Structures are given as structure tokens and as C-alpha cells.
């Protein structure tokens, strides 16, 4: 698994080519440490954006879309850029109008773009050298840090299994993995005083 990956591929701007885009994207994402759920989020966002370009960027003559995927496993950060030579069009402008309550200005595909913004950490549009460039980014560092902390806490518990402790909830029983959960991804730590130092150590 490489620490940094960047690859670009050109596709005809046709909805029928979306599966080929997904195959290209999946092949790169699976080389990273990005969790599966996050990979699926990126693929869903790219699907929406590519189909949007295929539908609205060009006329009957058609055109192309360049898809560039960059992944940095060291900082756990992924960027996808979709660039086309079609008519100038900022897909996120419609979502901004929706955000201020003007649903009549959302336009076709506006709600799909709203989904993209919900799934991604950052989204941007630029007109560069007569080209449209849409950039989306996804991070997974926070989730991984939490997962690593949880795994470390579970390891400490397993190492101390068989030891006895005094607690009002459970007296003279061995520790189990259920005794310690960290505040990660909605999980909560039980209010057991003897576990607080352990949790603080795992979160450090």
C-alpha cells in the first residue's frame, strides 16, 4: 500500500460511462486505508457529480470528463477532481440558494448536490482556463484515531483480564471488553471510577 497515490483518467461525458468511472475510482480507493463506508461516500458523490456533468455540461455534440483521484495515506486525505470543457456551471451555487430557503432556484439535480455536500468534508468549484473543475475532499483521520484509541483500550482490558477489582456494579469479577467503551463515534464510557484513568490514557 503506497502512502501517496494520484491518477487521472478521461471518460466520455455520458451517463453510460458512469460504471467505468466507478471501476476506476474503486481501484484507487481500495489501495488506501480509507474505511469502506468513506469509500462508498466518495463513490456516491462522484456518481452524482459525473452524471450531473454528463447531463448538463455539453450539448448534443458531447464531450469529456477528466477524473483525477489523489490519496495521501499519511494524512488520511483524499481528493477527487472532475474537470470538463462544457458550459460554465457551478453546481454548488444551486445548493447555496437552497440553503437560504429559495427552493424555486434549486434547479434540476440540486438536491443531489446537497447530498454531495453532506457526504464530503469540502466541496468547491472553479472555472480554470475555460474548464469547469469540481473538487471534493474526504478525510478519515478522526475516525481512524478514534478507532485506534478504542483498539488500544480493548488491548489494555484484555491484558488485565483475570485481575480482580472493587466496584459497586461488579464485584470481584474479571474485566471484559464491555467494561470500557470510549467516546468515539457515539459510544460512551460507563461511569466506572476505576476506568477513568484508563480511558484518559487511551484518548491521549
- Verify that 24 and 93 share a domain, yes or no: yes
Last residue of a domain, one of 139, 160, 182: 139
Query: What tens digit of pLDDT does each residue of 17-59 get?
Result: 999 999 999 999 999 999 999 999 999 999 999 999 999 999 8
Report DSSP state, residue 14: -
Q: What is the pTM of this model?
A: 0.65
Q: What percent of the chain has pLDDT over 90?
A: 50
CA gap 77, 46 in Å, rounded = 16
Query: What tens digit of pLDDT does each residue of 173-183 get?
Result: 444 444 444 33
Q: Domain of 104: which CATH number?
A: 3.30.565.10
How confident is residue 155, by pLDDT bands cut at 50, 70 and 90? low
- Domain span including residue 187: 143-203
- Verify that 40 and 99 share a domain, yes or no: yes
Short-list 25, 129, 35, CA closest to 79: 25
- Per the structure, the count of domains in the chain is 2
- Verify that 106 and 45 share a domain, yes or no: yes
Those residues with Cβ within 8 angstroms of residue 123's Cβ, 6 or more apart along the chain or in another chain = 92, 116, 117, 134, 135, 136, 137
pLDDT at 96: 53
pLDDT at 180: 41
Query: What tens digit of pLDDT does each residue of 106-145 get?
Result: 444 557 888 899 999 999 999 999 999 999 999 997 655 5
Amino acid at each position: 500500500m503506497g502512502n501517496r497515490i494520484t491518477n487521472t483518467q478521461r471518460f466520455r461525458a455520458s451517463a453510460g460511462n458512469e460504471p467505468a468511472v466507478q471501476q476506476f475510482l474503486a481501484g484507487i480507493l481500495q489501495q488506501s486505508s480509507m474505511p469502506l463506508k468513506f469509500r462508498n461516500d466518495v463513490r456516491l458523490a462522484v456518481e452524482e457529480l459525473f452524471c450531473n456533468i454528463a447531463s448538463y455540461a455539453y450539448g448534443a455534440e458531447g464531450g469529456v470528463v477528466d477524473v483525477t483521484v489523489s490519496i495521501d495515506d499519511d494524512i488520511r486525505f483524499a481528493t477527487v477532481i472532475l474537470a470538463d470543457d462544457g458550459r460554465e456551471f457551478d453546481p454548488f451555487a444551486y445548493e447555496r440558494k437552497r440553503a437560504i430557503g429559495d427552493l424555486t432556484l434549486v434547479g434540476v439535480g440540486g438536491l443531489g448536490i446537497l447530498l454531495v455536500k453532506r457526504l464530503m468534508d469540502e466541496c468547491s468549484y472553479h472555472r480554470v482556463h475555460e474548464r469547469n473543475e469540481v473538487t471534493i475532499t474526504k478525510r478519515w483521520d478522526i475516525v481512524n484515531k478514534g478507532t485506534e484509541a478504542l483498539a488500544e483500550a480493548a488491548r489494555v482490558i484484555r491484558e488485565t483480564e483475570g485481575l480482580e477489582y472493587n466496584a459497586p456494579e461488579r464485584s470481584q469479577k474479571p474485566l471484559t471488553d464491555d467494561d470500557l467503551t470510549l467516546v468515539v463515534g457515539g459510544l460512551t464510557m460507563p461511569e466506572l471510577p476505576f476506568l477513568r484513568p484508563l480511558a484518559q490514557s487511551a484518548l491521549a
